[in-house]
Amino acid sequence: MMNLKALLLSSSILLSSYVLLSSCTENSKAGKAANGTQTATTTSTTTTDTTTKVVYQPVDKAKYDSLVKRLANGDTTGHWPVKKQPYPTAGAILPFKRVVAFYGNLFSKRMGILGELPPKEMLAKLKAEAKNWEKADPKTPVQTALHYIAVVAQGDGGADGKYRYRMPFKQIDTVLSLAKRSNSIVFLDIQVALSNIKTELPLLEKYLSMPQVHFGMDPEFSMKDGSKPGKRIGTYDAADINYASEYLAGLVKKYNLPPKILVVHRFTRKMVTGTKDIKLRPEVQVVMDMDGWGEPDLKLGTYRNFIFPEPVQFTGFKLFYKNDLKKEPHRMLTPQDLMKYKPQPIYIQYQ
């Protein structure tokens, strides 16, 4: 069921890694500037040097406990909700809101819905999906998001032989501008290829130090065996995730930020190793995102086999507008379908 499919490489960029139940990727272009918004904020005060200090809403611990229990959706195995998880610092989004994100890259119409549609049409569609989720789960408000691939695995080694292409900052600025228009948060996602998380993550600090910008890491294109991205499925270990979490927690403390959301994509067991050793921190909320494509039963099986039995903190689920329709019954899972899962995903991504 998880057999590798054909690869399409351009001379410089990995166009797609069509792996059954994998994420589709390609390359991209272009942009302008801006800032985004963080809906978890409550009040602000102005200091004498005219800088604005934001005060975030403290976490209601009783409500937090009730919401994570509700997400477990009646699970009786003892896996969910995750035991002994720390309460988040002030301003946390999860589990108080469900994040509904559009994924992609502005250079490409093939990497996801974020770059496929003109901005106005894309944002309108995102708003419509948010309403669908609020209708399916009226008790959970939706926080919309733009999940942008900031480092793309490519088919050419490049000058340093690392097989990854870093997007220009002006394009990230454009995504921030679009997010501001729609009151959305932003995720910056990286595909390290033959580079590594310790090299790539710090290069995005100027953006991750913003309160509305969060982070995603894709094991599929973390090629620790030295093979070219797309030849096989890559991997991250708990140590890699702990490094990212510690780094993000440091930014939260340094810049007085609300907790960062860290999304880790997964659709096979070996993509993430040592899950029991992943460290949870009050400053970072970890989402294990079921990143695979296919028919509904296959996607549910992947969720049950690789997300459910290895609880970390929160779960996510990815929906593909095109790839999920390739096989019978040629339909995407709906919010109503996903609300039946144990646990219910609190992060939803559309590609």
pLDDT digits (tens, 9 = 90+) for 266-301: 999 999 999 999 999 999 999 999 999 999 999 999
Q: Any residues with CB less than 8 A from the CB of 163 and at least 6 apart, and which? A: 14, 153, 154, 155, 156, 157, 193, 194, 223, 228, 229
* Separation between Cα atoms, residue 251 and residue 257, nearest integer Å: 7
| Per-chain mean pLDDT for the chain | 88
Least reliable range by pLDDT among 25-34, 78-87, 108-117, 119-128 = 25-34
* In a domain? residue 3: no
What is the four-CA torsion angle of 89, 39, 332, 26, rounded to 10 degrees?
A: -90
Here the CATH number for the domain that contains residue 273 is 3.20.20
| pLDDT of res. 52 | 65
State which residues form the domain around 230.
Answer: 28-40+51-350
The answer to whether 229 and 154 have CB atoms below 8 angstroms apart is yes
* In a domain? residue 230: yes
* In a domain? residue 320: yes
* In a domain? residue 228: yes
* In a domain? residue 281: yes
* Per-residue model confidence as pLDDT tens digits over 168-215: 999 999 999 999 999 999 999 999 999 999 999 999 999 999 999 999
* In a domain? residue 13: no
* In a domain? residue 73: yes
Strand partners, 52: 46
**pLDDT more than 90, % of the chain:** 83
Taking the CB of residue 217, how many other CB atoms lie within 10 A of it?
25
* In a domain? residue 143: yes
